[in-house]
């Protein structure tokens, strides 16, 4: 099974991805975590990514797509968390999967209202969780990532999950949709 988790910053993608990947034995690929690892190791890729992450901008598509392709396992089903984030990334993913004879089975969009997102991120306090960067991340989500909802609706893959519930309740709703 191959799954994509969509959602605004703070929607709970990472939190849910850990639960779902563990319970369904999926490879969890978080592009944000991969970039943060590269930043912590001060690699060339990390230094490039950091300048975008600090501002809450998206890292350019080609860099992200190459990184995801390098991490996708041949054998195991995967759960993508924070990728794709643009139509360009989604198209690149479709093309890559097609060459491997694979497909996406479910796209879950975790929905949470803006004020709750801001409150969650401010109380977490990661280095990109300051108010001006959060506002920009939310704008970037609206403008560049939200169009993916329609993209996957058109492919009949999208399910919307109420993310404004307790963590266990969100996980239960996701599992009910995965069948």
Please, are residues 161 and 109 in contact by the beta-carbon 8 Å criterion?
yes
Site string for ligand AP5, 36-75 (x = CB under 6 A): ----------------xx--xxxx----x-----------
DSSP H stretches of helix in the chain: 13-24, 31-40, 44-55, 61-71, 87-99, 114-124, 131-140, 147-154, 167-178
| Nearest distance from C-beta of residue 29 to ligand AP5, angstroms | 10
Q: Per rule CB under 6 A, is residue 10 in the interface with ligand AP5?
A: yes
Question: Measured at the alpha carbon of residue 57, what is the angle toward residues 42 and 122, in degrees to the nearest 5?
Answer: 90
Is 137 considered catalytic here? yes
d(CA 36, CA 119): 22
For residue 5, give the 3-state DSSP assignment: strand
Q: Does residue 85 carry a catalytic annotation? A: yes
Binding mask 137-176 for ligand AP5 (x = CB under 6 A): x----------------------------xx--x------
Strand pairing of 78-81 and 27-30? parallel
Q: How far is the CB of 173 from ligand AP5 (least distance, A)?
A: 11
90 binds ligand AP5 (CB under 6 A): no
Which segment (7-15, 21-29, 70-78, 147-155) binds ligand AP5 by CB under 6 A? 7-15
Marked catalytic residue, from 22, 98, 114, 126:
126
Site string for ligand AP5, 97-136 (x = CB under 6 A): -----------------------xx--x------------
Q: Is-catalytic flag, 126?
A: yes
Is 124 catalytic? The answer is: yes
Q: Are 83 and 64 in contact (CB under 8 A)?
A: yes
CB 3 within 8 Å of CB 79: yes
Catalytic residues: 13, 85, 124, 126, 137
């Amino acid at each position: 099974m191959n799954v994509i988790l969509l959602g605004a910053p703070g929607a709970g993608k990472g939190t849910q991805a850990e639960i779902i990947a563990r319970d369904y034995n999926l490879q969890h690929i978080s592009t944000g975590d991969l970039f943060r690892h590269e930043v912590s190791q001060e690699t060339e890729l990390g230094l490039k990514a950091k300048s975008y992450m600090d501002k809450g901008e998206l890292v350019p598509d080609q860099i992200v797509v190459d990184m995801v392709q390098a991490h996708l396992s041949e054998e195991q089903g995967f759960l993508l968390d924070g990728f794709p984030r643009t139509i360009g990334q989604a198209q690149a993913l479709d093309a890559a999967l097609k060459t491997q004879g694979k497909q996406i089975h479910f796209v879950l969009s975790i929905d949470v209202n803006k004020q709750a997102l801001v409150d969650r991120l401010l109380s977490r306090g990661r280095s990109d969780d300051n108010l001006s960067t959060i506002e920009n991340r939310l704008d970037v989500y609206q403008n560049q990532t939200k169009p993916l909802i329609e993209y996957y609706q058109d492919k009949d893959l999208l399910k919307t999950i109420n993310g404004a519930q307790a963590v266990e309740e969100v996980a239960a709703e996701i599992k009910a949709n995965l069948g």
